[in-house]
Amino acid sequence: MSEILQQITTAVMQGKKDEIAQIAQQAIDEGSGAEDILYKGLMPGMDYVSVEFKAGRVFVPEVMRSARAMLNVMEVIKPLMVEKGISMVGKVLLGTVKGDLHDIGKNLVGMMCEGAGFEVRNLGINVEPEKFVEAVKEFEPDIVGMSALLTTTMRSMGDTVKALEEAGVRDRVQIMIGGAPVSQAFADKIGVAYAPDAAAAADKAKELIANSR
């Protein structure tokens, strides 16, 4: 791998969110393509962070910094990717469900999914089932991701699945849920996929895409 792409990988691993855009610009000036920067520079860095996070060797603040570094470069290379028609891995629609205002974990999930090459649309917090339905029709995501941090708002996840079914769009998407009170057993009960943390969510999203193609 070229030295400059290795520098990008290292900058993601170390969460150098300010320096990394400059390194990416240098890579572009030296002739690296957006695809190489994404797949050979950024992604190996985020994959490393994801493994370390799962193993408990790095924590939320470090992951946030690495994800921010990755997003700073994505802003630089996005126009080049659009120009060249390079497609992302898939589309993820994310939201914290109705009644719930917690968004730190959900945003982390969004960052990790972007780090894994997904185009992410984040609907924010307190998202009504109807809002998910509208966004599925308009954004046409591959995956709908829902987050809940309150035991009381887990119910909204089931309500959202039902709303998607009633609107006739449930079969167009894969659904993944997560959040501290959510479990695999609950996900099984409402017929969706589950991920326990942000790194696992990005892995699960990739797995869901691979299984659906």
Q: Which residues bind ligand B1M (CB under 6 A)?
A: 60, 99-106, 108-109, 145-147, 149-151, 176-181, 195, 197-198, 201
Question: Which stretches does DSSP call E strand in 113-184?
Answer: 118-122, 143-147, 174-178
Beta strand 118-122 pairing with 90-96? parallel
Neighbour tally for 90: CB within 10 Å: 22
Spatial contact of 107 and 71, defined as CB atoms under 8 Å apart: no
113-141 burial, b if ≥16 CB within 10 A, otherwise e?
bbbbbbbbebbebbbbbebbbebbeeeeb
Distance CA 201, CA 92 (A): 11
Q: Which is nearer to ligand B1M, 12 or 93 (CB)?
A: 93
Closest distance of CB 179 from ligand B1M, Å: 4
Closest distance of CB 151 from ligand B1M, Å: 4
Closest distance of CB 125 from ligand B1M, Å: 7
Closest distance of CB 21 from ligand B1M, Å: 25
Angle, helices 104-115 vs 43-54, to 10°: value is 140
Q: Which is nearer to ligand B1M, 17 or 106 (CB)?
A: 106
Q: Which is nearer to ligand B1M, 76 or 106 (CB)?
A: 106
Q: Which is nearer to ligand B1M, 34 or 208 (CB)?
A: 208
Closest distance of CB 121 from ligand B1M, Å: 13
Q: Which is nearer to ligand B1M, 20 or 177 (CB)?
A: 177
Closest residue by Cα to residue 161 from 144, 178, 180: 144
Nearest 5°: phi and psi at 18? -85, -45
